[in-house]
């Protein structure tokens, strides 16, 4: 069974499993399905308000869609959860520069 199928099964068994939504989001992002990736990152964040990695990936995805203001808020959330999250600082900088 492939990773995606395992993660989908995990969600069927536990619909509150934020990490499964997050990892599915990463798979969709890798496949180039930005809309499904965004949906899954949003779901992960809604299920676990302390999930810094999901906040960061949601922010990156939003910045890719040029929704810089919302992305900024999610980067700030990620950094509030984990002030030492280097990837969030780095990605926030790229998004800030892209916003102009």
Query: How high is the pLDDT of residue 1?
Result: 62
CB 54 within 8 A of CB 41: yes
Yes or no: domain 3-99 corresponds to CATH 1.25.40.10: yes
Distance (Å) of CA 92 to CA 12, 39, 75, 85, 97: 33, 20, 6, 11, 9
For 12-61, the pLDDT digits (tens) are: 999 999 999 999 999 999 999 999 999 999 999 999 999 999 999 999 99
Q: Do the Cβ atoms of 25 and 37 come closer than 8 Å? A: yes
Is the Cβ–Cβ distance between 61 and 37 less than 8 Å? yes
Choice among 2-6, 16-20, 57-61, 90-94 with the minimum mean pLDDT: 90-94
Domain boundaries, the chain: 3-99
């Amino acid at each position: 069974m492939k990773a995606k199928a395992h993660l989908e099964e995990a969600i069927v068994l536990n619909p509150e499993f934020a990490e499964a939504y997050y990892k599915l989001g990463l798979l969709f992002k890798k496949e180039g399905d930005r809309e499904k990736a965004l949906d899954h990152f949003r779901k992960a964040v809604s299920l676990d308000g302390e999930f810094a990695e999901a906040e960061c990936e949601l922010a990156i995805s939003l910045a890719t869609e040029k929704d810089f203001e919302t992305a900024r808020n999610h980067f700030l959330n990620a950094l509030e959860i984990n002030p030492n999250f280097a990837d969030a600082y780095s990605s926030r900088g790229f998004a800030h520069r892209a916003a102009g």
